[in-house]
């Protein structure tokens, strides 16, 4: 209605109604007082429109419709009146607390749709002691792994009439503390949490006070909570074993954050594969990229500028893999001719590299979906003792073209094995 908040700047001819829509203070006009009292404005404007046929014909029809909707927002009583049922029956249909005859329920829903009635979520939460909201605390929502995981979580939540409140910690201790306290104050029904590894005391207290928590992607060893995780050690073992099978013996590993369980498990898988091939774990071949692109680039440079650099790199996070490929290009090296690469996490862009990357594929969508399922089961069995579960979701080594076979080393190894066999037989 008004082109500016500076109401006093418009003279008698400026208003949309003709003859002065807005006037300076002290001038009597029915519309001027409305700006000082929004509710009074709506009521008086509606009354003015109703009383003036000229106004209704010229300007009022659309304004009347808007004002009418705002002034007559449907209530549960309106729904009951239109559906010819009691308020209690409408409540039963909305909340599913009692059986209602199908024909009656259909009539109630049709009335709700016609009146555009939406139940008051705050009132419902006070009555049911449930907010129907799940907090999701992840470390980096820009990481395709976590954004895909959240998609799976959202799908399961939506199917169960829940919504998500997503929080991004950026691997910060302070951010995690803030979001854990925020979600607790907002009375979410439960949380999915990818912990930073540094706030176990706060998390333990939340669980003791009855908060339902499911760990995703990573866990805290000294906190009892259900967790949905990848088979991290197995994935790292498969990747390292594949490189060993291709003749590589100096294999560098670029790890993520030192305080989280995924890093520990992937390092264990790497070491297990080396031990099976009779190789010691060389500390100079272990670098940390802190799960960031720039970290991966820096770690790659550090490893490849050693006097005796590795012939292959196992990179344990998708963002660090991008940094590694960037470093290889900037150093004017070629993959796999100069250095072979295997990544952890598989997305569409892994096949867009030249060459397409060999990776360990996880199932983040399934992990998110499963985590919400377990969380809802815990919420629905409030007060019942439930077993702590640890679900391990399978991984898959997807072989492409980023690993070079070192033929001479394979032949040497084969010859050594053959000689040893012949000596044993003789």
Does residue 201 form part of some domain? yes
Q: Which of 362, 377, 402 is the last residue of a domain?
A: 362
Mean pLDDT of 219-233: 95
Asked whether residue 253 carries a pLDDT value surpassing 60, the answer given is: yes
Q: What is the pLDDT of residue 199?
A: 73
Q: Decide which of 342, 362, 382 is a domain's last residue.
A: 362
What is the pLDDT confidence band of residue 20, given thresholds at 50, 70 and 90? very low
Q: Is 338 exposed, middle or buried (0-12, 13-18, 19+ CB in 10 A)?
A: middle
Q: Are residues 244 and 357 in the same domain?
A: yes
Picking from 19-33, 249-263, 316-330, 365-379, which range would have the lowest pLDDT averaged per residue? Answer: 19-33
| Residues 167, 74 share a domain | no
Residue after which a domain boundary falls, among 339, 362, 385: 362
The answer on 354 and 235 residing in a single domain is yes
Residues 138 and 211 grouped into a single domain: yes
User: 3-state class of 235 per DSSP?
Assistant: helix
Cα–Cα dist 197/188, whole Å:
22
Own/partner long-range contacts of 117-120 (Cβ < 8 Å, ≥24 apart): 117/74, 117/75, 117/76, 117/78, 117/79, 119/76, 119/94
Q: Structural domain tally of the chain?
A: 3
Higher pLDDT, 69 or 97: 97
Residues 349 and 308 in one domain: yes
Q: How far is CA 211 from CA 23, 193, 360, in A?
A: 58, 12, 34
217, 238: one domain: no
Q: Say yes or no: 262 and 217 in one domain.
A: no
Higher pLDDT pick, 311 / 119: 311
Q: Give the per-residue pLDDT at 178.
A: 94
pLDDT value for 364: 97
Task: Quickly tell me which residue has 């994935």 as its tokens.
Answer: 235
Residues 398-424 have pLDDT tens digits of 999 999 999 755 444 444 444 444 444
Contact residues for 292 (Cβ-Cβ < 8 A; gap 6+) = 319, 320, 323
Q: How many helices (H) and strands (E) does the chain have?
A: 16, 12
pLDDT of residue 44: 61
Determine contact, residues 213/206, Cβ cutoff 8 Å: yes
* pLDDT recorded at residue 120: 59
Q: Which range, of 36-45, 47-56, 80-89, averages the lowest pLDDT?
A: 47-56
Q: Is residue 345 part of a domain?
A: yes
Q: Could you tell me the CATH number of the domain that includes residue 105?
A: 1.10.260.40
Residues 6+ apart with CB under 8 A from 389: 226, 227, 374
Would residue 190 count as lying in a domain? Answer: yes
Higher pLDDT, 279 or 21: 279
Q: Vertex 293, ends 289 and 297: CA angle to 5°?
A: 65
Mean pLDDT rounded to a whole number for the chain? 82
Q: Are residues 269 and 193 in the same domain?
A: no
Q: Are residues 121 and 150 in the same domain?
A: no
Same domain assignment for residues 214 and 239 = no
> Considering the entire predicted model, what is its pTM?
0.70
Enclosing domain of residue 93: 48-126
Q: Give yes or no: residues 66 and 152 share one domain.
A: no
Question: What is the rounded CA–CA span in Å between residue 143 and residue 289?
Answer: 15
The CATH number covering residue 283 comes to 3.40.50.2300
E strands, 329-373, in order: 340-344, 358-361
Same domain? 106 vs 60: yes
Indicate if the pLDDT at residue 384 is higher than 90: no
- pLDDT value, residue 51: 53
């Amino acid at each position: 209605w008004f082109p500016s908040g500076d109401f006093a700047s418009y003279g008698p001819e400026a208003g949309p109604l003709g003859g002065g829509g807005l006037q300076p203070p002290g001038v009597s006009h029915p519309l001027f007082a409305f700006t000082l009292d929004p509710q009074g404005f709506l009521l008086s404007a509606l009354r003015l429109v109703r009383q003036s046929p000229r106004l209704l014909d010229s300007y009022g029809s659309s304004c009347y419709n808007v004002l009418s909707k705002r002034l007559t927002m449907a209530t549960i009583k309106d729904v009951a009146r239109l559906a010819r049922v009691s308020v209690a029956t409408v409540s039963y249909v909305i909340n599913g607390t009692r059986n209602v005859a199908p024909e009656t329920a259909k009539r109630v829903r049709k009335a709700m749709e016609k009146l555009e009635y939406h139940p008051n979520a705050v009132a419902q939460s006070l009555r049911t002691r449930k907010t129907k909201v799940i907090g999701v605390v992840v470390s980096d929502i820009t990481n395709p792994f976590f954004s895909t995981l959240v998609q799976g979580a959202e799908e399961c939540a939506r199917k169960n009439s829940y919504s998500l409140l997503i929080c991004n910690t950026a691997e910060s201790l302070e951010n995690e503390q803030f979001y854990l306290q925020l979600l607790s104050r907002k009375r979410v029904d439960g949380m999915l949490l990818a912990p930073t590894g540094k706030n176990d005391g706060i998390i333990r207290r939340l669980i003791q006070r009855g908060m339902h928590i499911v760990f995703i992607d990573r866990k805290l060893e000294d906190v009892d909570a259900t967790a949905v995780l990848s088979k991290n050690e197995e994935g790292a073992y498969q990747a390292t074993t594949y490189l060993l099978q291709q003749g590589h013996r100096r294999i560098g590993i670029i790890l993520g954050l030192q305080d989280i369980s995924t890093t520990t498990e992937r390092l264990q898988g790497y070491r297990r594969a080396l031990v099976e091939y009779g190789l010691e774990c060389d500390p100079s071949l272990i670098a940390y990229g802190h799960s960031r692109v720039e970290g991966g680039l820096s770690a790659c440079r550090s490893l490849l500028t050693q006097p005796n650099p590795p012939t292959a790199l196992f990179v344990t996070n998708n963002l660090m893999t991008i940094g590694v490929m960037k470093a290889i290009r900037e150093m004017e090296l070629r993959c796999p001719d100069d250095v072979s690469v295997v990544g952890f996490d598989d997305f569409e862009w892994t096949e867009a590299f030249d060459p397409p990357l060999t990776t360990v594929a996880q199932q983040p969508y399934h992990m998110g979906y499963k985590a919400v399922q377990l969380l809802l089961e815990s919420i629905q069995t409030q007060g019942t003792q439930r077993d702590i579960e640890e679900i391990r979701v399978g991984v898959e080594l997807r072989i492409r073209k980023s690993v070079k076979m070192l033929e001479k080393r394979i032949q040497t190894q084969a010859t050594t094995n053959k000689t040893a066999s012949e000596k044993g037989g003789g």
